Chain A
């Protein structure tokens, strides 16, 4: 039975517009805020998000500049110290083949960051565009795209992935492409189903009647309105890519030695966690920091971009 309650929750933004002297001042100062500045301001207001951004920046700095603080390169082998715990000479210790764990962590982080960020970004962008375009154009375009998506979903992608990366000799660039090609369709399917309901919204119709081009409608009206989903899927994507790459490396199809990634380090370290815990903890801490920072940034972005969100503040 329909409860037919009126809007009991007062619209938060109404309250906010009344209680926002700061915005008032900004308005009287003149200059209209552009959308980008508005988003930036709302993002910076979220402390967690800023913390996430700082952690990510530190991780990136570490990946880029970390090698300056060690005389070793990741594939140097020090036969005098095999499986040594952390010491002044090897800050994070060494593994059973005598590689310096610190150098390996720096290099592995670099690899993992590049792979995870680019795969996740690419899959999110492709799925957003393909899903939204399928929904907006409808008809034959929609049928064709959905056909491809459904086909890719039933293909045993992990197997193909393993074979392709194997034949490419574990090149990380090939890994990015392969992970992207077999990773976008799940999100595209979700985006499509959300965008089909957005397509019927009056503002999309309004834009069409104003003569706005189809591509522009997809990019400007459809995709931003599923933004929170995309951001969440991007941050989750980073985490799952690290895991996926780890899994591949574990069965020997991912990044191939002597190259290292956080994934290979984790799988190696997991085997010796009781005898040589430092081999596990260094990459584990880095992976955790990476995922936590991504989650924080994702939350902040979602709130900043979502005009109805409360934590996004007032604007």
Chain B
């Protein structure tokens, strides 16, 4: 990076402003972005949804719709891009700019083979013979790590998995040796293990082409591992810009400090409450003067409201490298201002789980040998069964009172099926489910089912989709009460008020509709609804994954607080292991319908035994560049195989790094004998691997 600074920037953006007309007024989506991008450099742009990071990249590529008003300057070396029309831009996009978007499925045309699409990408911009272009396409696919590239080039996009598709998109993006690669949330739609692979391929693509990379993401961990320089955006403006080490070690803008404090870390054992940033991001219409972060800032002073601070260079060891847009940035050091922490530290409330030892607490949920298979059907008129999908096979879990069990795994591993089986309250295909000591198979009639429903409630992933938009918040919260047979109007009214207060919402607002609330507030309504019947067990299906980082922290804290206050037990399903580590007491790792490792959260995270758990943990990016660089990654090859195979043997065999190091007799055991969950010593830390 040091020599790249001496060369000329390949892309320089000055005073970029973008606004869109809307019914409510002009939306100032981007309000003054400046940056220089040098060859070989990686610039990370971080921000929450609506901060203008994607609009910035779209403006650079000239992909914004015509009604967007764009001003400022975007120069690719010496060529000004903003004046070019769409035809002229088309010649630059794909040749000088390589683009990688979030959703690899919609980035590829479903009706052409991937090889043909890469050939086309070359022929649009170069005079190149078809055979040569095909050869190059195969080379590129090989480079991005597609096995059997020569054959797979003839395959169609739907024949690839998500991770493989994203590799194809990367191959296409670098087909013409671009000078700038723009990756907009390239890994957000992918699982962690696949995310690690893609980030590696992206790095490879960058070094191979010598291009500069703009990496847009909301995940601070991703940035910490890959970027050289980071720009934090808020309300359409960069609020802090610094080299990656400097930014993570010495953030100077309160928003950045808040963002870093709000992320749970997978490598931190201590359970301090996360530090949420109060309030919501501003609407970008008719901004009042002053710092846009001022209403949410814990250290704002009256001067903050007077004028919006410029992004000013701060005096540091590397002059000119660190800048922040805060009038008090000079006073902030190591997250403190005048000796006190910028964000006041909150006290953790002791959980009841710490009061009584685990064995003495009652069992709230007991699942034994749960199995769920879905038939694979074929034929249009007469369906015949051609096989089965073993979504869940032989899962055992138990949750004690006041305990949180985190259920983690990649998508398709059977987490959600397990949840739904529990929530359905129907006897499973095999095995048994007992809730609060009552066996689900023994339920008779609606009365008994209702009584059990009282004890078991669920919080959903999508805070918008889980609330009926036609009902007011009052009706939403009253529904579970009415469903369990409560009909007294006054009781319902007072209970709804209580619930609103419990989740820190204003009870006066209960006559509003859900879409009058922000994402975090809606999720609080979802939690309040689940609490309405005073349940013992709350099933949480990815409750924070749809929320922004700063909002997520508040919801996680609320969940922890409610658990302590009400003595709840949680079954917490998530793919984000850092969140799981923060909230769970015990954790179960699932792979292809089986639990491969289960134990207390600290044991599993500190001493993972199963090779899959090890790989999963090492794939999670940590928001600390120094830790990121020093970490050794276990990169899993390939994707989750399909779950239609019921032959004995370990299901992880095809991707297992440990398996490769074994001798033949041991390998045969992996392939032929299904490993049972077992522990080394007399502890409840169990794993399903023959050799661990």
Contacts and interface: CB of A to CB of B under 8 A. Distances in A.
Contact of A209 (B99, B453, B465, B471): B453
B504 to A, nearest CB: 17
A38 B54 contact: no
Contact of B515 (A3, A6, A11, A224): A11
A17 B510 contact: no
B425 to A, nearest CB: 9
A218 to B, nearest CB: 13
Given A27-B508, A310-B23, A206 B55 contact: no
A1 interface: yes
A155 interface: no
Contacts of A1: 99, 101, 106-107
Given A4-B184, A202-B466, A10 B24 contact: yes
Interface stretch (A28-36, A126-134, A277-285): A28-36
Interface string A203-232: 101110111110000001100110100000
Contacts of A225: 468-470
A202 B50 contact: no
A10 B49 CA distance: 12
Interface in B84-143: 99, 101-103, 106-107
Contact of A207 (B27, B283, B479, B515): B479
B196 interface: no
Contacts of A13: 513, 515-516
B472 A38 contact: yes
A97 interface: no
Nearest to A20: B516
B511 A6 contact: no
Contacts of A213: 483
B529 interface: yes
A27 B107 CA distance: 48
A211 B49 contact: no
B516 A16 contact: yes
A5 B518 contact: no
A27 B508 CA distance: 6
B511 A33 contact: yes
Contact of A3 (B58, B285, B511): B58
Contacts of B468: 203, 207, 220-221, 224-225
A48 to B, nearest CB: 19
Contacts of A146: none
A13 B102 CA distance: 28
Given A8-B27, A10-B283, A3 B466 contact: no
B650 interface: no
B54 A6 contact: yes
A4 B103 contact: yes
A301 B589 CA distance: 51
B445 to A, nearest CB: 12
B24 A15 contact: yes
A32 B496 CA distance: 12
Interface string A9-52: 11111111110000000011000111100100000000000000
Given A8-B20, A14-B283, A15-B24, A210 B457 contact: yes
Contact of B22 (A4, A9, A28, A207): A9
B103 A2 contact: yes
A141 to B, nearest CB: 18
Which of under 10, 10 to 19, 20 to 34, or 35 or more describes the interface residues of A?
A: 35 or more
Contact of A10 (B22, B101, B479, B511): B22
A307 B516 CA distance: 9
Interface in A146-174: none
A308 B29 contact: no
A38 B102 CA distance: 41
A201 interface: yes
A315 interface: yes
Interface string A70-94: 0000000000000000000000000
Interface centre among A1, A8, A213 (most CB of B within 10 A): A8
A305 interface: yes
Interface centre among A3, A9, A15, A32 (most CB of B within 10 A): A32
Nearest to A221: B468
Contact of B512 (A2, A17, A203, A205): A17
B348 interface: no
B449 to A, nearest CB: 7
Contact of B460 (A3, A202, A227): A202
B466 A203 contact: yes
A10 B512 contact: no
B54 A10 contact: no
Contact of B450 (A2, A201, A211, A220): A211
B456 to A, nearest CB: 8
Given A12-B23, A225-B470, A6 B49 contact: yes
Interface in B459-478: 460-462, 465-472, 474-475
Contacts of B423: 209
B483 A211 contact: yes
A230 B465 CA distance: 22
A209 B515 CA distance: 22
Given A7-B49, A12-B23, A211-B483, A307 B101 contact: no
Contacts of A202: 460-462, 465-466
Contacts of A210: 453, 457, 479-480, 483-484, 529, 533
Interface string B472-509: 10110001101110000000010000000000000011
B107 to A, nearest CB: 6
Interface centre among A7, A13, A310 (most CB of B within 10 A): A13
B185 interface: yes
Interface string B650-686: 0000000000000000000000000000000000000
A35 B471 contact: yes
Contacts of A27: 508-509, 511
Contacts of A6: 29, 49-52, 54-55
B118 to A, nearest CB: 15
B24 A205 contact: no
A32 B474 contact: yes
Contacts of B102: 2, 4
Nearest to B185: A4
B292 to A, nearest CB: 14
A290 to B, nearest CB: 29
B335 to A, nearest CB: 29
B458 interface: yes
A110 to B, nearest CB: 35
A33 B450 CA distance: 30
B399 interface: no
A94 to B, nearest CB: 52
Nearest to A10: B283
A2 B107 contact: yes
Contacts of A315: 511-513
A224 B472 CA distance: 13
Contacts of B470: 221, 224-225, 227, 305, 307
B22 A209 contact: no
A18 B288 CA distance: 14
Nearest to B507: A32
Nearest to A26: B511
A25 to B, nearest CB: 11
Nearest to A19: B24
B58 to A, nearest CB: 7
A2 B513 contact: no
6 interchain residue pairs of minimum CB distance? A211-B453, A307-B513, A202-B466, A202-B465, A210-B480, A2-B106
Interface of B: 20, 22-24, 27, 29, 49-52, 54-55, 58, 63, 99, 101-103, 106-107, 184-185, 283-285, 423, 449-450, 453, 457-458, 460-462, 465-472, 474-475, 479-480, 482-484, 493, 508-516, 518, 529, 533
26 contacts: A2-B103, A2-B106, A5-B54, A5-B58, A6-B50, A6-B51, A7-B50, A9-B20, A10-B22, A10-B27, A17-B512, A18-B283, A32-B474, A35-B472, A202-B460, A202-B461, A203-B466, A203-B467, A209-B457, A210-B479, A210-B533, A211-B483, A221-B468, A221-B470, A224-B470, A307-B470
